Structure 1
Amino acid sequence: MTAPAPPESSGAYFSANDAVFDWTVGFLESFRAHNPDLPLRWIPFDDRGDRIAALADEYQFTAFEDPSFDRLEAIGESLEVGLTPYGPHWFRRFAAFWGPFERFLYQDCRQLALCDLGPLIDATANYGFDLLHFDCALDQVYEPGPVRREFLRRGRGRGFMSGQWASRRGLFDLGTLERFGAECLAVRDQLNPRNTDQFFLNYCCDAGSVREGRNERPIVTGHFAEVLGDLCRDAWARQPGRVYQDAAGVFRRWDHGGSDHAKGVPILHWAGIQLSPAMPEAELFYTYRDRREPAARRALRSLRRRAERLALRLADRLRRQRQINSLWHRLRGRRR
């Protein structure tokens, strides 16, 4: 029997399949532009990954497939209420807790890496945190109720997003995750109806503990911006202001008078946003996605996007208008 390879000190994981190929190209271009040597592993979202696999040599990543995927997906399946049939595949990401990296960053593919990610990965060890994260939105994790109130009473319950976070190998094992899955199922009505992997990871961190010798302590989580400073609190693209690059090449957010004005943007993500020329910070994304295309083709694509953007943004503004949106949902028989 071949002995398992020794763990590597640090690296990053991303999850993707062929359905998000364009997003993945943009992510990989940005990742390698700022992290040319950082080890990268791809967690296949499902079995539709031939086009992603074909990018491995070009962007220097390897696939990470693990026998635990079926059991992890079974946890997700047990927590699904029919809103996100692909949701169980999200749970594959948690194999990172016993993967090849001692310290790691996990990222979904619908984002850009805009800096050297090493300091984000190292921060967990340097400052004594088990897991660090960006955006928080408590209602996207817990429903109002006893579970949420008890976590808040104990100083837990940050409600962080599950698309980008740094942690360490061994924080959880598969058996512990299955136990937490059963606990979540028992209080399923108090957890977000849609974001199964998100509430699950939060619950594991809020309810879990770490054994140190004979003692146990709560899992220590923190916000990257609060721990490191000079970073935007939210990595979501739909924020006030615009992202710009300063004279030193650092990406920052211009929002004069706002709390994140001129602060760093190490990661930018488009969770829940459709790939479109009208999406926030679209040109920044397409700059990376088309980075290896000939200059003439890049220019032509940019002109086409500009022509499409006005109509798309007008349609989006109408969709967001309260009366029109309410009428649309009534006709569809759905709640707002």
Structure 2
Amino acid sequence: MSQELTLGVYFSANDVVYDWTIAFLNSFRTFNPDLRLILIPFNEQCDRLLQLQERYNFEVYIDPSFPRLEAIGQAFELGHTPTGPYWFRRYAAFWGPLNRFMYLDARQVVLADLKPFIEALDQFGFDFIHYDCAIDQVYEPGVFRQELLRQGRGRGFNSGRWATREGLFSLEEFEHLAAEALKIRDQLNPRNTDQAFINYCCDMKPVCYGHFAEVIGGICHTGWARQPRKIYQQDGKYYLWDYGGLDHKKQLFLLHWAGHPLNIFMPHRSVFCNFFFRNEPISQYLITYLYAVFEYLVNNPIEVMRKNRHINTLYHLVKRTISL
């Protein structure tokens, strides 16, 4: 790889995910002390977060394209996620200051040096490398999805962790692809707007993309925390104990809690706490732990009701009736 290329990582966050971001930043700087890190503000609620800029040595990237990207997001929004349009700001990274980069959401911890994962783009000749896949979270079952799969496309990758290169897409190209995608909006996931959008763009261009675990090898195929597996450390690295499984004793380089709230019973909470409380006194740990217990006791009954099939069905029935 040319020495002239600028490598680094973009991340998106705001004050709403402040605690998640503390763990993310501590973990990132543990394994990547010198790698360039740039915040793309999720929205304008970033006052607390910006106070961490010097401590964690990150830059802030604000681009004039944000309103146009948010407009794309708004066009895809079906009323499920009020903040959905802000997710599209992350795609300004394609014309940002980094030549080769990784994008990461803040609801995860970094467990390895990320530079080799960024360098893999040129080393293996890929335009875009992603991580976890779940096609149902991107494309609805139907003719469009079937045709993509028939052509060897349509992986359905997660939009919160990927590596790519500057200039792969332009703002004008995104706007053109968005107009085409809206013609088949009913065949895209109704909720995960930014995820469906970037998958559609990569599939329609198309770009040469692959999965980190398949391209590099020796790493876990997924980093989703909710999967019941044991994480252990050895020689300063994190591995997965998944006896009998495909990822047994493979390295884990990212651990993310997408779709899971931050609470006392979150899976692999010990890994999160290891980075969240790094360099903090034990008293802070105890206070936060007690608060988490209280929060759980208050919110858990509501969460149980929300997930109940009958209550949830009734809620959405009433919601649809009111909207008519």
TM-score by length of 2: 0.91
1:226 corresponds, among 214, 217, 222, to: 214
Matches of 1:30 and 1:65 in 2, distance apart? 24
- 2:262 is the counterpart of 1:275: yes
Matches of 2:238 and 2:287 in 1, distance apart? 24
- 2:285 is the counterpart of 1:288: no
Report the counterpart of residue 211 of structure 1 in structure 2: none
* Contact in 1 for aligned 2:263/2:292 (Cα 8 Å): no
| Matched residue SS, 1:219 | coil
- 2:49 is the counterpart of 1:52: yes
| Matched residue SS, 1:268 | strand
| Matched residue SS, 1:101 | coil
The gaps in structure 2 that reach 5 residues or longer are 319-324
2:223 corresponds, among 218, 231, 235, to: 235
TM-aligned CA deviation for residue 315 of structure 1: 6.3
User: AA paired with 1:41?
Assistant: I
Q: Deviations over 1:174-229 (max 9, x none)?
A: 11000010011111000000001001000000000xxxxxxxxx411100001111
* Contact in 1 for aligned 2:131/2:213 (Cα 8 Å): yes
Matches of 1:316 and 1:235 in 2, distance apart? 28
Which piece of structure 1 moves more, 233-242 or 89-98?
233-242
Quickly say closer, same or farther: Cα 1:334–1:249, change in 2 above 3 A.
Answer: farther
Q: Deviations over 1:59-86 (max 9, x none)?
A: 0001000011111111111111111111
TM-aligned CA deviation for residue 240 of structure 1: 2.2
The gaps in structure 1 that reach 5 residues or longer are 1-6, 209-217
Quickly say closer, same or farther: Cα 1:223–1:310, change in 2 above 3 A.
Answer: same
* Contact in 2 for aligned 1:277/1:308 (Cα 8 Å): no
* Contact in 2 for aligned 1:31/1:113 (Cα 8 Å): yes
Report the counterpart of residue 7 of structure 2 in structure 1: 10
1:138 corresponds, among 131, 135, 140, to: 135
Quickly say closer, same or farther: Cα 1:318–1:94, change in 2 above 3 A.
Answer: closer
Report the counterpart of residue 266 of structure 1 in structure 2: 253
| Matched residue SS, 1:264 | coil
Q: Deviations over 1:224-282 (max 9, x none)?
A: 00111111111111112121112x11111112111111111100111111011111111
Matches of 1:314 and 1:73 in 2, distance apart? 33
| Matched residue SS, 1:28 | helix
- 2:314 is the counterpart of 1:326: no
Report the counterpart of residue 244 of structure 1 in structure 2: 232
TM-aligned CA deviation for residue 309 of structure 1: 10
| Matched residue SS, 1:71 | helix
TM-aligned CA deviation for residue 316 of structure 1: 10
Report the counterpart of residue 186 of structure 1 in structure 2: 183
* Contact in 2 for aligned 1:79/1:185 (Cα 8 Å): yes
Matches of 1:242 and 1:315 in 2, distance apart? 28
Mapping 1:308-319, distance limit 5 Å: none
Report the counterpart of residue 103 of structure 2 in structure 1: 106
- 2:252 is the counterpart of 1:255: no
Matches of 1:105 and 1:329 in 2, distance apart? 37
- 2:22 is the counterpart of 1:25: yes
Quickly say closer, same or farther: Cα 1:313–1:232, change in 2 above 3 A.
Answer: farther
TM-score by length of 1: 0.88
User: AA paired with 2:209?
Assistant: T
Mapping 1:54-93, distance limit 5 Å: 54-93=51-90
* Contact in 2 for aligned 1:278/1:312 (Cα 8 Å): no
Quickly say closer, same or farther: Cα 1:96–1:330, change in 2 above 3 A.
Answer: closer
Matches of 1:259 and 1:78 in 2, distance apart? 40
Report the counterpart of residue 37 of structure 2 in structure 1: 40
How many residue pairs match? The answer is 315
| Matched residue SS, 1:26 | helix
Cα RMSD over matched residues?
Answer: 2.3
Matches of 2:300 and 2:70 in 1, distance apart? 40
Quickly say closer, same or farther: Cα 1:242–1:301, change in 2 above 3 A.
Answer: farther
Matches of 2:254 and 2:149 in 1, distance apart? 28
